[in-house]
Structure 1
């Protein structure tokens, strides 16, 4: 059975690219286009991993990360934050809110796939 990944990003091109990439790698993919959709999808789908954009409408990736970590049932969900905000303070904030890892855009698809596998405990 393939593992389920939630991709939360408000940028359609990035969403389509990431969805294609993760499906090609054999993962089941669920998408969310804003922070509230992401939280609803995490609660409903219980993904093995969340790829979470920081800058999204309604709720930011930081808000989503905070809510997931505050939830008794969701707190162990691995979160990889993806963002164009690569300043050290942004990275520190994401990690402080409980993100397991942080990648800045633009990123190499090869590196992203490697990171996803690593976070899901899979060997390449």
Structure 2
């Protein structure tokens, strides 16, 4: 069974590119363009992996990551935080708030795939 993935990114070009890449790699993909759409999508879709833009319109990816991890009823989801910042402090902050991985934009397709594959190995 293919892993399910939710891509939440405010930039249409990035969202479309990620959707195309991950669909081509065999993932079942849903997309959200902002925080309210993400919330609505999470009500009906329970992804194995969430690719989450740190600067998602409506609420930051950092806040969303923290909210997901605080929810007692949340299903397990691997969160990859996508950040425009290359600062080590921002990556540490993302991990402290519950991200399983943090990738700095721009990242390569190979880097993203390697990260997601390492998080979903055995599923």
Q: TM-score, normalised by structure 1?
A: 0.92
Contact 2:46 2:75 survives alignment (8 Å)? no
Q: Give the match for residue 70 of structure 1.
A: 70
State how far apart, in whole Å, the 2-side matches of 1:65 and 1:35 are: 11
Per the TM alignment, residue 75 of structure 1 is displaced from its structure 2 partner at its CA by 5.8
Query: Alpha-carbon deviation of 1:63?
Result: 1.2
Cα deviation, 1:10-62, whole Å, max 9, x if unaligned, reads: 00000000000000000110001112322332232010000001002111101
- Alpha-carbon deviation of 1:115? 1.0
Distance in 2 (CA, whole Å) between partners of 1:23 and 1:6 is 11
Residue in structure 2 matched with residue 52 of structure 1 by the alignment: 52
| Contact persistence 1:39–1:64 (CA under 8 A) | no
Root-mean-square deviation (CA, aligned residues, Å) is: 1.5
Establish whether residue 99 from structure 1 lines up as the match of residue 104 from structure 2.
no
Gaps of at least 5 residues in structure 2 are none
Could you say which residue in structure 2 is the equivalent of 1:4? Answer: 4
Report what 1:40 is aligned to: 40
Q: Structure 1 unaligned runs (5+)?
A: none
The question of 1:113 aligning with 2:113 is answered yes
Greater CA deviation, 79-88 or 23-32? 79-88
Question: Could you tell me whether the CA contact under 8 Å between 2:35 and 2:57 is conserved in 1?
Answer: yes
